[in-house]
Amino acid sequence: MSIGTAENPQSQHYTELLRVKQPLHCAISFHYSDRMLPVLHASADALLKRIRRTSFYYQRWNNTLAFSINNAYGRYARECAARYAAEHGTMDLPPSPLQEKGAAYFPRIFPADKARAYSQTITELLERNDSVVERPKESDLAARIRAPLRTLGTDILDAVRAPAIHDALLRFFRGHYRIEWITCFRTFPAKRVAGSWLWHSDSFPPHTCKLFLHLTPANVETGATEFMTLADTMAYRRAGYFGQFKDERFANLEEFAAAHHLPYRPFHFDAEPGDGTLFDMNFFHRAVRPEHAFRDVIQFYFLPSPIPWEQQYERDVEKLMAVTGNFPKNPRPGASVTASSQSMMM
């Protein structure tokens, strides 16, 4: 549609504008906001969506978030790492396995008997339908336990204190990190799959990652998460699979892989109670429906930090009691409201 300009006064829209008995700039803004702005917004949104789905954007950020959010996280991560380097001297840290592989497994980061006891507590909470139990829409697939720090106890933080987890997080962040939120959920054997049980990437900010503390065994039969490497994730995106929004996710990618001559080589870790899985949620992954038993997991989400997580934790205890699953638009503590995620677990 032609808008009409002073240079092109023949245009019908422009002539209409001149008929309005108002200063021209008011009339133009009236005209724009009423008719053109939605169109311009829609076109700009469509263009941005296309840009954020290019290999270039994915390679840079591994998500489709707004540039401003990615930039804020990139800058903050660099600042935190620089501060850590200034305080600790030159670090001879190997690269994080999350960078290329996307996920890493850590046995025995937490006492197995305690992990089993937590799982038993979850069973009891579910049996008495306690108010801390949350059954989302997909309630045949999973249940969530609110405020795990309060419901299960602060000992769950020992998983983050495990030296192997600290080393892995240090390699990932190249500096301090903080816990942004903690969730706990049980996945059930179910007949169908949806949401996180389909191949997806979370589209969370860069320089953030998640840790699963397993409370029950997780293997091919009992719901071990499946992951793809960065190279495979990018190859599927180049072939047109994005698995971001729930309506564009596939349960199986084997057919897509065959049609596009891609390798199909997801991997998983067999975990026992007390083991941990650290992963970059922006690589493709999917929850696997347990075949027989349920699977219990406590999930921690980490952001960069200029100070050690335990110090930040003291300031955040109340906030960490609240159930969440989103990320803040601005990574600086207390700086901004949270953004909702399109692809969060439940």
Binding site for ligand AKG (CB under 6 A): 187, 196, 202, 210, 225, 281, 285, 287, 345
**Closest distance to ligand AKG from the beta carbon of 102 (Å):** 12
**Closest distance to ligand AKG from the beta carbon of 139 (Å):** 15
Per the CB < 8 A criterion, the answer to whether 158 and 283 are in contact is no
Q: Which is nearer to ligand AKG, 70 or 196 (CB)?
A: 196
Cα angle: 210, vertex 107, 114; to 5 degrees: 85
Per the CB < 8 A criterion, the answer to whether 247 and 113 are in contact is no
Q: Which is nearer to ligand AKG, 173 or 300 (CB)?
A: 300
Tokens 């069973």 map to which residue? 123
**Closest distance to ligand AKG from the beta carbon of 29 (Å):** 43
Q: Which is nearer to ligand AKG, 58 or 84 (CB)?
A: 58
**Closest distance to ligand AKG from the beta carbon of 279 (Å):** 8
**Closest distance to ligand AKG from the beta carbon of 202 (Å):** 5
- Scanning 202-343, the segments in alpha helix (DSSP H) are 230-238, 254-259, 309-321
Q: Which is nearer to ligand AKG, 58 or 269 (CB)?
A: 269
304: helix, strand or coil: strand
Retrieve residue 156's tokens: 């769950």
**Closest distance to ligand AKG from the beta carbon of 227 (Å):** 9
Q: Which is nearer to ligand AKG, 73 or 279 (CB)?
A: 279
- Written as one string, the DSSP assignment of 138-163 is TTTTEEEES-HHHHT-GGGGHHHHSH
Q: Which is nearer to ligand AKG, 213 or 287 (CB)?
A: 287
Nearest to 208 by CA among 336, 310, 323, 63: 63
Cα angle: 80, vertex 86, 88; to 5 degrees: 100
Q: In a 10 Å sphere around its CB, with 0-12 CB exposed, 13-18 middle and 19+ buried, how is residue 191 labelled? A: exposed
Tokens 């549609």 map to which residue? 1
- The amino acid that residue 97 corresponds to is P
